[in-house]
Amino acid sequence: MKALDDFIKENKDMFMTNEPPAGHFERFEEKLRQMQRRNKLRFISRITSIAAIGLVMIASSIFIYNRYFDHRSIILNLGDINPQMEKVEYYYTSQIDNLSVDIDSLSIGSQESLKKMMSKELAEMDSIHGVLQKKLGSNPGDERVINAMITYYQTKLGIMKSFLNTLNQIQQSKNQKKDNYENTLL
């Protein structure tokens, strides 16, 4: 850097002799203005491109959210539709609750696997009930969904009654064996 400074100081005359041609500064200013206009246009086009991309992203995000993620389905029960359906639902749910208490009260001892199988079946049926509740929330007046829910309650009640009968038969069989054993001892 020092060598360049020394060269300029020694050859000062060489640098001062040539003057720029006439109109040089005006042409330079015009080129500078054109460059500034182009830069402004580039800046504006970039801003509008970014804004357009942003709008497309926002619109597609809203579309995707509404299409795939906004599944806040309303969960309805039959009783939420009208008072008559509330009575029907209450009847079935109370019957199912009573049967659940009866099933739980029976000691099945060695038949634990049977009880686990029944619990699994009822859990699967309950998942179907959840789907039906969501469908009812989406279509509150749809008779098919209402009938499907009533059929669900009837089917669950029938399965539970059948299971209770099976447990009662097992219990009676055990009691008979016990009585027979006691009678042979006497």
Q: What is the predicted pLDDT for the residue at 46?
A: 86
Q: Where are the domains of the chain?
A: 21-69, 78-185
Q: Which two tokens stand for residue 152?
A: 């669900």
Q: Which of 42, 20, 16 has its CA nearest to residue 29?
A: 20
Whether 157 and 96 have beta carbons less than 8 Å apart is answered as yes
**What does the CA dihedral 119, 124, 129, 134 come to, rounded to 10 degrees?**
140
- Residues 19-61 have pLDDT tens digits of 767 788 888 888 888 888 888 888 888 888 888 888 888 888 8
Q: What is the predicted pLDDT for the residue at 73?
A: 62
- Residues 160-182 have pLDDT tens digits of 888 888 888 877 887 777 777 66
Q: Which of 64, 153, 168, 165 has its CA nearest to residue 108?
A: 168
Give the CA distances from residue 107 to residues 102, 121, 172, 186, in Å, rounded to whole numbers and listed in that order.
10, 19, 12, 27
- Residues 85-133 have pLDDT tens digits of 888 889 989 998 898 888 777 755 556 777 778 888 888 888 888 888 8
The model's confidence at residue 75, banded by pLDDT at 50, 70 and 90, is confident
Question: Distance between CA 134 and CA 153 in Å, rounded?
Answer: 16
Report the SS3 class of residue 182.
Answer: helix
Question: Distance between CA 15 and CA 152 in Å, rounded?
Answer: 101
The residue assigned the tokens 């005359």 is 13
Question: Distance between CA 100 and CA 164 in Å, rounded?
Answer: 9
Beta strands in the chain (DSSP E): none
The residue assigned the tokens 């179907």 is 128
In DSSP notation, 84-102 reads HHHHHHHHHHHHHHHHHHH
